[in-house]
């Protein structure tokens, strides 16, 4: 999971979070499925949140090397 998470894009994690919330809304969701969905959703949330708080922006100007 840790490896997978590194490769996961923000959009994928966000889609995962949205899907998890939907699973819990569906009729006939078993308690087990709901708990699993919930835990995954929280993981997706944490992942999104980590990305959103990774504020280490760099703004730089490229210096052309004169030939």
Residue 51 near residue 13 (C-beta atoms within 8 A): yes
- Interface with another protein, residue 54, by CB under 8 A: yes
The encoded tokens of residue 34 equal: 């709901």
Residues 13-52 that bind another protein (CB under 8 A): 14, 17-18, 20-21, 24-25, 29, 31, 34, 38, 41-42, 45, 48-49, 51-52
Rg of the chain, C-alpha, whole Å: 18
Closest separation between CB of residue 67 and another protein, Å? 12
Query: By C-beta, is 7 or 56 nearer to another protein?
Result: 56
**C-alpha–C-alpha distance, residues 40 and 4, integer Å:** 13
């Amino acid at each position: 999971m840790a490896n997978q998470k590194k490769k996961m894009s923000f959009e994928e994690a966000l889609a995962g979070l949205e899907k998890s919330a939907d699973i819990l809304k569906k009729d006939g969701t078993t308690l087990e499925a709901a708990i699993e969905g919930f835990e995954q959703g929280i993981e997706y949330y944490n992942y999104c949140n980590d990305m959103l708080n990774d504020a280490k922006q760099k703004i730089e100007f490229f210096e052309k090397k004169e030939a």
